[in-house]
Amino acid sequence: MKLRRINRAVHRDLGYFFFGMCIIYGVSGIALNHRHDWNPNYIIQQEDFHATIPPGTQAGKAMAMVILEEIGEQENYKTHLESGQNMRIFIDGGTVNVNMQTGAGNVETIRKRPVFNQINFLHYNTPRKLWTWFSDLFAVGLIILAFTGLFVLKGKNGFTKRGVYFTTTGILIPLLLLYLYLNG
């Protein structure tokens, strides 16, 4: 009976302690699983425009500034590149691409996706050092939570009755999917 009480206390306290980490890894895991559908880290927007370039405007920074002024981005100029009739202007938070002869172009802006960018930063283990140690501690905590969770309940809903079926199914599904992916 004392062992059951210790098991429940360990399971409960680890659950409380790692609640935030479970949310971080759960939400970012879902986001990263669907990164082929959307970019979980950045919001990328593109907008087409047509610039009127005054005759006699020299290619180079002068032309870049004329274009940026027309689209309201003159304050964000960083640098530019020219290739044939095309100019790429780098601005804070994006790029401007324009055909210098026709004036046709587009603005691509990139900004961090709120919340997702930050939690994915943690999920990717980007901070390193202390974060790696805490993530490893979390992984060990998950293993302990999994084992202690098996023995929290007793009786008809306990591990030896109902729990064994769910546990077995939860083990077999990943193994089956792994088999299908490796042999399919």
Are β-strands 42-50 and 104-112 bridged in parallel, bridged antiparallel, or unpaired? antiparallel
Confidence class of residue 184 from pLDDT cuts 50, 70 and 90?
confident
The residue extents of the domains of the chain are 2-35+115-183, 42-112
DSSP for 11-69, written as a single string:
HHHHHHHTHHHHHHHHHHHHHHHTTTTS-SSEEEEEEEEE--PPTTPPTTHHHHHHHHH
pTM above threshold 0.75: no
Average pLDDT over residues 36-52: 94
CA distances from 87 to 68, 80, 92, 102, 110 (A): 12, 7, 16, 12, 19
3-state secondary structure at position 102: coil
Average pLDDT over residues 129-153: 93
pLDDT of residue 50: 93
pLDDT of residue 57: 78
Does residue 92 have a pLDDT over 80?
yes
Average pLDDT over residues 6-12: 95
Confidence class of residue 137 from pLDDT cuts 50, 70 and 90?
very high
Average pLDDT over residues 159-163: 90
